[in-house]
Chains A and B, each alone.
Chain A
């Protein structure tokens, strides 16, 4: 499952979507808005997306992860809209029989989402300026 949300992400609710009796392992990643980037003091940021394609590409990443790794369930939710320092921007979670696949699949989903899902981050700085960020491919 891949979702975009203009409301705060609830990590406990996300976890409930993927825990199940057959899984002995669970790995999650939470990406928060931090107060600095590239030497600048960040006060807020705004995520925008091509929502239809973002959902499509995000779903494909989750499906590919299920084919590539021995996992039981996987989910990812990404925020859009205005966020402030400390807000949860992205949540990724994977449940598996064993731990190694959980770590690897979580890393794979996170990296793929950052690289391929059409979402863009505009940072707002303490000095009043703003700047679009592009992830290093």
Chain B
């Protein structure tokens, strides 16, 4: 599957990317995130991070489809 990955907030600095195309066979969002962490050799702790698929909040156990846009949102820090 080919998906688009979007990083937000501090994850942009952590992964060194804002948005990128990614080829993956990982079955769930959590596996996908862990795979990305392995790629960048960063901590794969998901606490506080929310996954988003096509601009809709999702669950870590959710699957995804070819062509999806998958975002990873760290804890908010507005105000």
Which residues of A does B touch, CB under 8 Å?
31, 47-50, 52-53, 78, 89-90, 110, 113-121, 132-135, 137
Contacts and interface: CB of A to CB of B under 8 A. Distances in A.
Interface of B: 8-10, 13, 48, 50, 52, 55, 57, 71, 73-79
Nearest to A80: B78
Contacts of A114: 76-79
A89 B8 contact: no
Given A50-B8, A132-B13, 11 more contacts: A48-B8, A50-B55, A52-B55, A53-B73, A118-B50, A119-B76, A119-B79, A132-B9, A133-B77, A134-B10, A134-B77
Most chain A beta-carbon contacts within 10 A, residue among B9, B50, B52, B73: B9
